[in-house]
Amino acid sequence: MTEVVTGEAVVLDLAVARFPSRILALLIDIAVQFPVLIFLAIVVSATSADHLNSASGAAIYLAGFMFVVIGYPLIFETLSRGKTLGKMALGLRVVCDDGSPERFRQALIRALSAAFVEVWLPPFNLIGIPAGLITSMVSAKGKRLGDLFAGTFVIQERVPPRPDLAPVFTVVPAPLTGWAQHLELSRLSDQTAAAASSFLRRFYDLRPAAREQLGLQLASAVVAQISPPPPPGTEPAAFLAAVLAVRRDREHARLVARQAAWQAAPSAPVPGAPVPQGAPVPPVPQGAPVPQGAPVPQGAPVPHGMPVPQGASAHHATLPLEPDDVVTLSKPDQPEDYGFATPF
């Protein structure tokens, strides 16, 4: 997984395609292109023997060769937004560095790089293939040379489903109920919580020795980010399950409270906005100034001694809405931010 910041400043977690899957997808694409090139060579050779000279035949074959090795990935990745037949078979997709779909310009750069540097054209591919392998293994996003030139990388769209969390790990263990009520989780990071959740999902698949060692490591990392520490003698798995259960319940309660507050809050009047005809007008203090040219709701009463704006009749006198006279409903106080809850 890698974090990608979109143009809207949204952080996405994307699964980067692994090196073996990318190689297999490339072999599938080559298996599709190679028979076409052989068929093209046979047709050009048969035609050249009767109707074309060697130079014309070579030119026709070169044009067809370029169309196959460049046009095939360019057309497929442009129309399918980042997929060739090999990538479709393995659930891969090419995306931009900000997570957006691949564009025509980037597909063209990748296709040209594969045709002239990395795969097809000797002797450049003798250098391009090893260089692409090295950059794919060194880069955090598995980028080959074409990805470096185009500003793209390949993600894994089809990922295996996560195993379900065992029911015993979805609730706070009974011995830790009192301790969990006073748990402070504001410093618990999403990465640590995700690691703890993954450990609990694979708890029964791990060997006992690995389970004990990994559980102690994760419990130590979580203890450093919460307070108070768990009671002495608490099992790491029970401790992690309690922390994640409390985190999930508090996040859910916060979301429900926020939605209820927004649904219950009526639309607040805006100071200085026109008052609809027939709407109740809040009282105005005696002798308060009236802004020049303020809107006047028809039939609004004017207090004794209240100045009337110039150009307004007594029948259409105005009562200005001052900021202090309008009760504005503010957003509910937000509780302490515990971050996004890791789904179970």
Spell out the domain ranges in the chain: 2-156, 167-264
d(CA 134, CA 120): 18
Q: Residue 169: is its pLDDT beyond 80?
A: yes
How high is the pLDDT of residue 8?
Answer: 64
pLDDT band at residue 52 using 50, 70 and 90 as cut-offs: confident
pLDDT confidence band for 343 (50 / 70 / 90): very low
Percent of residues, the chain, with pLDDT higher than 70: 73
Confidence band for 190, pLDDT divided at 50, 70 and 90: confident
Average pLDDT over every residue of 1-20: 73
First to last CA, the chain: 18
Q: Could you read off the pLDDT of 174-184 as tens digits, one per residue?
A: 999 999 999 99
Residue 36 reports pLDDT greater than 80: yes
Q: What is the pTM of this model?
A: 0.56
Distance of alpha carbon 262 from alpha carbon 334, whole angstroms: 12
Cα–Cα distance measured from residue 297 to residue 213, given in angstroms and rounded to the nearest whole number: 75
- Residue scoring higher pLDDT (98 or 342): 98
Residue type, 12: L
Return the number of other C-beta atoms located less than 10 Å from residue 36's C-beta.
15
**Model pLDDT, residue 140:** 85
Peptide bond into 266 cis (omega under 30): no
| pLDDT at residue number 145 | 92
pLDDT exceeds 50 at position 308: no
Confidence of residue 314 (pLDDT cuts 50, 70, 90): very low
For residues 238 and 246, the answer to whether their CB atoms sit within 8 Å is no
Please choose, from the candidates 224, 232, 100, the residue with its C-alpha nearest in 3D space to the C-alpha of residue 179: 232
**Is the confidence at residue 331, as pLDDT, over 50?**
no
Cβ(169)–Cβ(200) below 8 Å? yes
Residues 6+ apart with CB under 8 A from 280: none
175 three-state secondary structure: helix
Phi, then psi, of 156 in degrees rounded to 5? -100, 110
SS in 3 state form for 46-93?
A: HHHHHCCCHHHHHHHHHHHHHHHHHHHHHHHHHHCCCCCHHHHHHCEE
